[in-house]
Amino acid sequence: MTTIYQLNSRIIHCQRCPRLARYISEVSAAKKRAFSAWDYWGKPLPGYGDTQARLLIVGLAPAAHGANRTGRMFTGDSSGEFLAQTMHLHGFAEKPYSRNRDDGQELHDAYVTAVVRCAPPENKPLPMEKRNCLPYLAEEIRLLKKVCVILSLGKFAWNGTWEALANLGANLPHPRGAFGHGVESHIRHPLRDREIHLLASYHPSRQNTNTGRLTPAMFQGVFARASEILRHEEE
């Protein structure tokens, strides 16, 4: 049976999307002036975190000069810092920052991943690229057997999460929940005899956090709700 570590190895060596493979190679060779001394990761990115996690956090895709540079999801850019600070505040992260793979960060009861595993030009994956990557997210949901809360960061991740669950055989409601910050839904887990809770948040992109569309209080509220659900699961 496939393990999460074997899945991660397959993701790292994936070549399903020629456009994305070419783009991350070009970005990693050209680099950004501020990171000229870095040896960019420049490969598809697996998820990371606690393999016994009950909380799965799903983003859009690695950032070209963030995770594509550092080799770890939500690491090395403002989105990763915003996420790490909030996760630390709620006990899901050891450190209130996420800077590089050797920064000592450890996740507790949480696993972080994305719908698309290669940084896309302008943060806009093509529909075919999303379809190529979705089996990886579905496989993570299958392998992370204790996950009972999935937090989607942004509309793209929200839709991708529903599609991955459908691929696993979940019986989805019609219509399914529309995306919005703080939206919550729940369905029967497609593989386990229990419910799985779906939460949505605006993505912690600089565009959202700098404009006040997503404030620290708003983000903390979503994580507080996730923590509340997990506490009830223990009862």
Domains recognised in the chain with CATH numbers: 4-234 (3.40.470.10)
Sign of the four-CA dihedral 50, 111, 135, 195: positive
Compute the 3-state secondary structure of the chain and give helix, strand, coil in percent, each to the nearest 5. 40, 15, 45
H or E element, residue 197: strand 195-201
pLDDT at site 175: 82
pLDDT at site 40: 98
- Concatenating the DSSP letter of every residue in 144-191 gives -TT--EEEEESHHHHHHHHHHHHHTT----SSPPPP-TT-EEEEE-SS
pLDDT at site 49: 98
Token pair, residue 2, equals 């496939």
Q: pTM for this one?
A: 0.97
pLDDT at site 180: 97
Per-10-residue mean pLDDT of the chain, 235 residues long, equals 93 98 97 96 98 98 98 98 98 97 97 98 97 98 97 98 96 88 95 95 97 98 98 81
